Amino acid sequence: MKKYLIPFIAGIALLTTCAKDVYSPDACFQEDVLPIFVSNCTQSECHNSQEHEAGYDLSNYEGIMKGIKAKHPLQSEIYNTIRGNNPSMPRGSAKLTTKQVNTIKTWINMGAPNNSNCRTCDTAQFTFSGRVKPIMDSWCIGCHSSTNSSGGFDLSTYNGVVGAIPNNKLVGSLKHLSGFSAMPKNAGSLSQCDIAAIEKWVLAGYQNN
């Protein structure tokens, strides 16, 4: 009997490893998938909470799921519009990067869960390059770049982000304070952790670190 025990244990070990791969959040809805839609698809006259072009509000999970078939990317209308060499979406602006398209595909293959808090929030980390820039790149630059500087703000560079700080505009808009235009526009809000990191960076003198 003993000689069967080793392959049996090895088999269990293998199964556990595979199961872990499937459930390890390679793509997290809240942190990886949602910002791609918010930054690239919710511009005015597109798919935001106010304007549902083609019936789609892509600013939240429920709206996005209308065009997703869990586990079947190729049967998901949204995935089919963004993949390939000449995708039909986003219309009128640069196509999504291969990395962004793959993130969405991975997430659909995982079963398109509404998962969040996949990464530990390290409140001690609030440098520009390590924390602020990645947030801008994933959530904001679809509307705030050199070619599309909504409200006059290009948030794709350090100087551009610093230019949004005066009069508390950057932090006020992220915290949805009255007197400011709530950001990201027409689409919920960043996590408290991300907002706190940006505010800490501003209060510490917004260095290019």
Summarize as ranges the residues that interact with ligand HEC (CB under 6 A): 38-39, 42-43, 139-140, 142-144, 150-151, 153, 155, 164, 169-170, 173-174, 180-181, 183-185, 190
- Amino acid at residue number 112: A
Query: Which residue lies nearer to ligand HEC by CB, 48 or 76?
Result: 48
Query: Which residue lies nearer to ligand HEC by CB, 34 or 38?
Result: 38
**Shortest reach from residue 103's CB to ligand HEC, in Å:** 17
Cα–Cα–Cα angle for 11, 71, 95, nearest 5°?
125
Query: Which residue lies nearer to ligand HEC by CB, 109 or 149?
Result: 149
**Tokens describing residue 14:** 């293998």
Query: Which residue lies nearer to ligand HEC by CB, 133 or 185?
Result: 185
Query: Which residue lies nearer to ligand HEC by CB, 115 or 173?
Result: 173
**Tokens describing residue 98:** 């291969």
**Shortest reach from residue 53's CB to ligand HEC, in Å:** 13
Q: In this structure, are residues 47 and 56 in contact, taking their beta carbons and an 8 Å threshold?
A: yes
**Shortest reach from residue 203's CB to ligand HEC, in Å:** 16
Q: Extract long-range pairs of 69-74: CB within 8 Å, 24+ residues apart.
A: 69/108, 70/108, 70/111, 70/112, 71/108, 71/109, 71/110, 71/111, 71/112, 72/108, 73/104, 73/105, 73/108, 73/109
**Shortest reach from residue 164's CB to ligand HEC, in Å:** 4
**Shortest reach from residue 29's CB to ligand HEC, in Å:** 17
